């Protein structure tokens, strides 16, 4: 039996025994720590590699004492990035600086673009087949940056690169459930577009159970979902942005990816992916996940007048953010 397991581990890259290795980059940060905690509880993960530029040893020691089967190792600094990534089947990236009040996500570009590009170069070198889940903002630009890095390295697989927009869905479910007086787990609502301000487009008309709101109330709810990140940034008053709800959302998205990777059928989650649904090269929509990554970006369906107006209004901003990421990565080459 042991021999069979060892053989399976050799045949399935990124697997430890039969379960995959997941690398978390930015693991000692505000998102990284609670996300590491949630991933340590996953029955689908064999090994968790916790990487950061500082403070990883303490986080890894702490998390490693939790009595689940996931093996945990800590890695600190660029010299150890290769070891952290080696053999990973999934890489989750919350590395980078968060917003302070008054900032837009795009104000983070100058610092986070370089961080994501460097980490993507590490992925291309050490685990080119891994699924890559980008959390670092501005997601509308950092995902195109990672794509360009992978293209240059000759390792780009559009099916395996995801901008994590799950927090927008989690928020939409929560706020809608408050209105409907139901359990948020019983709410399904697609959130499409991107992950910044007006590019976050919840399709309230497609909500299940149905949500009957007059146009002004629907516009208010849409604005609350679009501005929810800013609501947290203001409430934290300089101490950062959403971390705990983000960890919950990322753990849920990672779990969906791991289930699909393990062969579960019918897994659908919203994410910002390479897409032919619109004129833009990347777009967030419900995505059907399979063993090889994103199998299909699912059609966004019919929009009502309010949604169509918001959709039309977002396209130029989203196109600009994508292009900014592409140009940054091409200048770096």
135 annotated to a ligand binding site: yes
Binding of residue 14 to ligand NAD (CB under 6 A)? no
Binding of residue 35 to ligand LMR (CB under 6 A)? no
* Distance of closest approach, residue 249 Cβ to ligand LMR, in angstroms: 9
Instruction: Tell the burial category of 214 from Cβ atoms under 10 Å away from its Cβ (0-12, 13-18, 19+).
Output: exposed
Q: Which of 22, 40, 42, 52 binds ligand NAD (CB under 6 A)?
A: 52
Interacting partner of 310 out of ligand NAD, ligand LMR, none (Cβ under 5 to 8 A depending on kind):
none
Interacting partner of 225 out of ligand NAD, ligand LMR, none (Cβ under 5 to 8 A depending on kind):
none
Q: Which of 242, 250, 267, 289 binds ligand LMR (CB under 6 A)?
A: 242
Binding of residue 233 to ligand LMR (CB under 6 A)? yes
Q: What are phi and psi of 183, to 5 degrees?
A: -70, 130
Residues 6+ apart with CB under 8 A from 309: none
Residue 51 Cα distances to 12, 91, 144, 200, angstroms? 23, 10, 23, 30
Binding of residue 45 to ligand LMR (CB under 6 A)? no
Helix or strand or coil: residue 162? strand
211/213 Cα distance (integer angstroms): 6
Whether 195 is a known active-site residue: answer yes
Per CB under 6 A, the segment of 206-214, 241-249, 252-260, 295-303 that binds ligand NAD is 241-249
Q: What are phi and psi of 209, to 5 degrees?
A: -65, 160
Whether 199 and 193 have beta carbons less than 8 Å apart is answered as yes
- CB closer to ligand NAD, 9 vs 149: 149
246 annotated to a ligand binding site: yes
Whether 226 and 197 have beta carbons less than 8 Å apart is answered as yes
Interacting partner of 233 out of ligand NAD, ligand LMR, none (Cβ under 5 to 8 A depending on kind):
ligand LMR
* Distance of closest approach, residue 171 Cβ to ligand LMR, in angstroms: 8
Per CB under 6 A, the segment of 88-96, 211-219, 303-311, 317-325 that binds ligand NAD is 88-96
84/49 Cα distance (integer angstroms): 6
Whether 39 and 254 have beta carbons less than 8 Å apart is answered as yes
Whether 25 and 164 have beta carbons less than 8 Å apart is answered as no
Binding of residue 105 to ligand LMR (CB under 6 A)? yes
Interacting partner of 218 out of ligand LMR, ligand NAD, none (Cβ under 5 to 8 A depending on kind):
none
271 annotated to a ligand binding site: no
Given 195, 229, 273, 297, the catalytic residue: 195
Q: Residues 278, 147, 140, 267: is their CA dihedral positive or negative? A: positive
Binding interface with ligand LMR (CB under 6 A): 98-99, 105, 137, 167, 229, 232-233, 241-242
Q: Which residues are catalytic?
A: 195
- Per the annotation, binding residues are 26-32, 52, 99, 105, 112, 135-137, 171, 246
């Amino acid at each position: 039996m042991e021999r069979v397991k060892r053989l399976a581990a050799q045949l399935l890259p990124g697997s430890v025994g039969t379960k995959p290795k997941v690398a978390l980059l930015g693991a000692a940060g505000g998102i990284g720590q609670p996300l590491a905690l949630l991933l340590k509880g996953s029955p689908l993960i064999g090994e968790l590699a916790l990487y950061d530029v500082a403070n990883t040893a303490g986080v890894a020691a702490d998390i490693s004492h939790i009595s689940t089967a996931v093996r945990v190792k800590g890695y600190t600094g660029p010299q150890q990035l290769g070891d952290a990534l080696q053999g990973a089947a999934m890489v989750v990236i919350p590395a980078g600086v968060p917003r302070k009040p008054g900032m837009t996500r795009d104000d983070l570009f100058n610092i986070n673009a370089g961080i994501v590009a460097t980490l993507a170069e590490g992925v291309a070198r050490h685990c080119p087949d891994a699924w890559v889940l980008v959390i670092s903002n501005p997601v509308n630009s950092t995902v195109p940056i990672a794509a360009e890095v992978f293209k240059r390295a000759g390792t780009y697989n559009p099916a395996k690169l995801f901008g994590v927009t799950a927090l927008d869905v989690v928020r939409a479910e929560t706020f809608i459930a408050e209105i409907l007086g139901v359990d948020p787990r019983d709410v399904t609502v697609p959130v499409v577009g991107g992950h910044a301000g007006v590019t976050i487009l919840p399709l309230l008309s497609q909500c299940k159970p149905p949500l009957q709101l007059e146009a002004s109330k629907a516009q208010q709810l849409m604005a609350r979902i679009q501005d929810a990140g800013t609501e947290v940034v203001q409430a934290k008053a300089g101490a950062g942005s959403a971390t705990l709800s983000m960890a919950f959302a990322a753990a849920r998205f990672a779990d969906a990816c791991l289930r699909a990777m393990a062969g579960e059928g019918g897994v659908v989650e919203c994410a910002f992916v390479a897409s032919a649904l619109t004129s833009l090269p990347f777009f967030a929509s419900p995505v059907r996940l399979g063993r090889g990554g994103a199998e299909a970006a699912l059609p966004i369906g019919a929009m009502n007048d309010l949604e169509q107006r918001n959709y039309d209004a977002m396209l130029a901003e989203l196109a600009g953010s994508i292009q900014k990421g592409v140009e940054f990565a091409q200048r770096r080459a």
